[in-house]
Amino acid sequence: MGTGDHAEVSDDVPHRGAPEADAMQYPLSGQAAVVTGGNSGVGRSATEMLLRAGADVTMICRSRERGERALAEIRDAEMRDAGIASGGAGAEATGAGGGKPGRTSDTAPQPEVTLEIADMSRQADVRAAAESIGARLPAIDILVNNAGISSARRTLSADAFELTFATNHIGHFLLTHLLLERLEAGRGRIVNVSSRGHRGGDLRRASLDDIARGRAWKGPLQAYADSKLANILFTFESVRRWGGLGITANAVHPGVLATDIWNKTPRIARLLIRPFTWFMDRPEVGGAAVMNLVAGPGGNGVSGSYFNVQREEKPSAQASDRILAHELWERSLEWTRG
């Protein structure tokens, strides 16, 4: 198994999908995807691309207002693409599901987009969302762990963890575990959205508990880098533990993108970054990087790898530390015990 250990997964049992005639146009038809942070940035772009490929998508969003707005916009776009006017119909969020937009063709798939509300830093929210999703979906084919923040100040979550680490790592670790049976049933492909900023992460500089609890806080950039390093360690360890279940997992740096995450950085950093946003890639670059790992060449049986956008590369030495990955996994289990 390569960088984290790389694994090739057998395709003897095909993923659920469209008949061969529709496979080229709708390669993910009949498949179920879950995307965290689906209302903006990479998550929004990935959601839209998954829908266009025929997958049903559940978006997990922290803000009900922003989630419902995104849901309405995505559904309106779906209906425009199908040549059907939306008529200004309102959107409905789940705790529950929502209706499917109409299609002009009887043979075209009718992908459904659904909204779940959860703050990924709050374990009670994550558990409630996972329970709702598990009740609706017998199998999950794709899980995109994307939601991320960079807290400008040392802030603790409702569960007394440093907020950036709680959101970016602990919440997604918990969600993935809670959905494990559904992922196994769908021979799921997990994509953990990390960052090349993980190279600045250092989870050996203090105890994992001190880092997770914010006692070893060294500023927002270090906290973000540590959380993105944790994403890759989680990816590689999940392949070692779950690869035999038919589940694949990869981590991806989606590019340097002009997304809302920059709004959460310290004010001075925002002022420094602002002139360069003109040169940043659009979120669609990140969405395409995700799609490469679930429907494109990069996702063809590849598991346990780190991608810089759509190019596989070696991550930092610490990201490939098997002992650290094992320690982080065991501590994360302790941190997420209900």
Report if residue 2 sits inside a domain.
Answer: no
Q: Following DSSP, what letter does each residue of 155-215 receive, concatenated?
A: -B-TTSSBHHHIIIIIHHHHHHHHTHHHHHHTT-EEEEE--GGGGG--TTSS-HHHHHTTT
Report if residue 19 sits inside a domain.
Answer: no
Report if residue 20 sits inside a domain.
Answer: no
Burial class (CB in 10 A: 0-12, 13-18, 19+), 160: exposed
* Backbone dihedral angles phi then psi of residue 275, each to the nearest 5 degrees: -60, -25
Q: How far apart are CA 163 and CA 120, in angstroms?
A: 10
Give the pLDDT of the chain (338 residues) as one tens digit per residue: 444 554 444 444 445 555 554 567 889 999 999 999 999 999 999 999 999 999 999 999 999 999 999 999 999 988 887 765 444 444 444 444 444 433 344 556 689 999 999 999 999 999 999 999 999 999 999 999 999 999 999 999 999 999 999 999 999 999 999 999 999 999 999 999 999 999 999 999 999 999 999 999 999 999 999 999 999 999 999 999 999 999 999 999 998 744 454 445 555 544 443 443 333 456 789 999 999 999 987 678 899 999 999 999 999 999 999 999 999 999 999 999 97
Q: According to the model, what pLDDT value does residue 1 have? A: 45
Report if residue 78 sits inside a domain.
Answer: yes
Report if residue 208 sits inside a domain.
Answer: yes
Report if residue 104 sits inside a domain.
Answer: yes
Report if residue 18 sits inside a domain.
Answer: no
| CA-closest candidate to residue 195, choices 282, 93, 309 | 309
* Backbone dihedral angles phi then psi of residue 216, each to the nearest 5 degrees: -110, 30
| CA-closest candidate to residue 70, choices 62, 164, 167 | 62
Q: Is 162 in contact with 218 (CB distance < 8 Å)?
A: no
> Domain range for residue 83?
7-13+26-335
Buried residues in 49-83 as b, exposed as e (16+ CB within 10 A): bbbbbbbbbbbbbbeeeebbebbbebbbebbeeee
The count of structural domains within the chain is 1
Catalytic residue among 165, 224, 306, 307: 224
Q: Please give the C-alpha separations between residue 243 and each of 77, 137, 194, 259, in angstroms, as whole numbers.
A: 37, 22, 20, 32
Q: Is 118 in contact with 147 (CB distance < 8 Å)?
A: no
Q: According to the model, what pLDDT value does residue 126 have? A: 98
Output DSSP code: residue 152.
S
Paired with 191 in beta bridges are: 144, 250
| CA-closest candidate to residue 10, choices 245, 252, 235 | 245
Query: Is residue 26 annotated as part of the catalytic site, yes or no?
Result: no
Q: According to the model, what pLDDT value does residue 217 have? A: 98
Report if residue 21 sits inside a domain.
Answer: no
**CATH number for 200:** 3.40.50.720
